[in-house]
Amino acid sequence: MDRRQFCRTTIAASVAAAIPFLPGCERRATVATDAVTSIRGISLSGVEIELERAAIKELGESMTGPVLLPGHDLYDGARTIWNGMHDRRPALIARCLNADDVSQAVTFARERELLVAVRGGGHSWPGKSICDDGLMIDLSQMNSVSVNPETQRAHAQGGALLNALDTASLQHGLVTTAGVVSHTGVGGFTLGGGFGRLNRKYGLAIDNLKSAEIITADGQVRRVSSEQDADLFWAIRGGGGNFGVVTEFEYQLHPFERQVLSGNIVWPVEQARDVLEFYGEWSAGLSDEMYAGPTLMTMPDGTGIVVMTVVYNGDPAAGEKELEPLRKIGTPMDDGVKVQDYMVTQTQDDVGFAHGVRSYAKSAMVKEVTQELVDAMIDAYIPDPRVFITNHVAGAAVQRVGETDTAFPHRNAEIMFVIVSGWMDPEQDAEVIAATREVYSKLEPFTGGYYTNIDTDGFETAGNYGPAYARLREIKARYDAGNLFRLNSNIEPA
């Protein structure tokens, strides 16, 4: 048997796996420390570049966590994110285990001007936590949450999920504002602002952020707060992932009774006008404790419905009294609002937004629910189970923070509509996206600005950030002049 034939046998394959550099036998390396050749990458400018074998090996050896290459058993799982629309293949995946790992990965990318994507919880709607032919900095293994009940603070690593933040805090009778799908990551959620069902009482997630550990483009590990690197701390509260990789968030927690008045009231869509017209007037006078927001949707059987999601963060008896006028509107098909565990509502959307679903969304900030907007919502509604109009409710404590106290630019919004679609068949992509955009176009005249966490279409960034934009550009120039962190709602350096 000649040497080439020998290398094709099962025995030789086993030997080659055990001895990476067996002369004459080709074996594809699957981790950076075993790199046997240079590999193709893509630069920040979109030009193809070569990543040298020695540099790849050096990166792998410098990190505690592995650097995965295509072909590794963990590679496909690591590159798979929540939204099934996005199927991309990074040249390298740096699976970080600590801040030093992140620093090494950031430095590697900066020195080579290599395209970088940052994966926290992997819930980026527009798929910006993954890229083709670049470096994916994967924080998924950095997912712990710790709570100090004495100081009422939580520390969440950059790859932690909202469910973990809620669960760890509630064990101590504490809570902070977290989002509405519990398998969302804390990172992108917080950096974009952080809407949740408690934000009318406690403010957005960024209003509860006390400090953060961030690795900036120079590879430096920084602890930022209102006392330290205050300009950078201001910028990350609403400025998204433009300024570095956040590896830990410190949140203010609040005493909380997890048995809360919460749930959904459902009406047939034929009663939408009555419900929404009443909501427009009633919601303007609600207490900080009351969160109530409407969704227009179609059930799989074709039944159109209006769903009002309610969470009352206070004495249930007071909540029942405040909710009573809404319950008298029309004839509900179902009223599931009752005193129950907070996590029932916090996890109710998890299945509808399950991993692997193909999803597209557009967001729209609204200052006031007017008669004209109600008319537009009813006109925009389509009887398609794949497309629905939902919301995040704001106002109250969200509005009491100054417009430029943080980088989040939409303090005057009473509600944010999100036109969402979900489907499984790739052949339906164009059809469903077009339908979603059509719904949005009918609401757009009554809106102003969008939520950067749902920046699917790459909206114009400057106008959306308004008076905060010039300062954001200056801070970006100081900490990331080369715009290394560009896969986001991007703020170009001044």
| pLDDT at site 458 | 65
Domains in the chain with CATH codes: 25-138 (3.30.43.10), 145-255 (3.30.465.10), 259-454 (3.40.462.20)
Model confidence, pTM: 0.93
CA 97 → CA 66, 92, 104, 168, 229, distances in Å?
Answer: 9, 16, 11, 21, 25
12 pLDDT band, cuts 50/70/90, is very low
| pLDDT at site 437 | 96
| pLDDT at site 459 | 67
| Cα of 172 vs its chain's centroid, Å | 26
End-to-end CA distance of the chain: 66
Q: For residue range 318-344, list pLDDT tens digits in order.
A: 999 999 999 999 999 999 999 999 999
User: What is the pLDDT of the chain when averaged over all its residues?
Assistant: 93
Asked if residues 305 and 283 have their Cβ atoms less than 8 Å apart, the reply is no
Q: For residue range 168-224, list pLDDT tens digits in order.
A: 999 999 999 999 999 999 999 999 999 999 999 999 999 999 999 999 999 999 999
In this prediction, residues 124-145 reach a mean pLDDT of 97
| pLDDT at site 213 | 98
Asked if residues 396 and 288 have their Cβ atoms less than 8 Å apart, the reply is yes
| pLDDT at site 457 | 76
Residue 452 has pLDDT above 70, yes or no: yes
Q: For residue range 154-163, list pLDDT tens digits in order.
A: 999 999 999 9
Residue 304 has pLDDT above 90, yes or no: yes
User: Which of 386, 376, 390, 378 minimizes the C-alpha distance to 454?
Assistant: 390
Q: For residue range 252-274, list pLDDT tens digits in order.
A: 999 999 999 999 999 999 999 99
Percent of the chain with pLDDT over 90: 92
CA 439 → CA 420, 427, 471, distances in Å?
Answer: 10, 20, 34
In this prediction, residues 470-479 reach a mean pLDDT of 98
CA 70 → CA 76, 86, 133, distances in Å?
Answer: 8, 17, 10
Q: Comparing 276 with 5, which gets the higher pLDDT?
A: 276
Task: Find the range with the poorest average confidence among 16-20, 104-108, 375-379, 463-467.
Answer: 16-20
Distance CA 174, CA 252 (A): 10
In this prediction, residues 88-101 reach a mean pLDDT of 98
Other CB atoms closer than 10 Å to residue 148's CB: what's the count? Answer: 13
| pLDDT at site 13 | 34
455 pLDDT band, cuts 50/70/90, is confident
| pLDDT at site 3 | 38
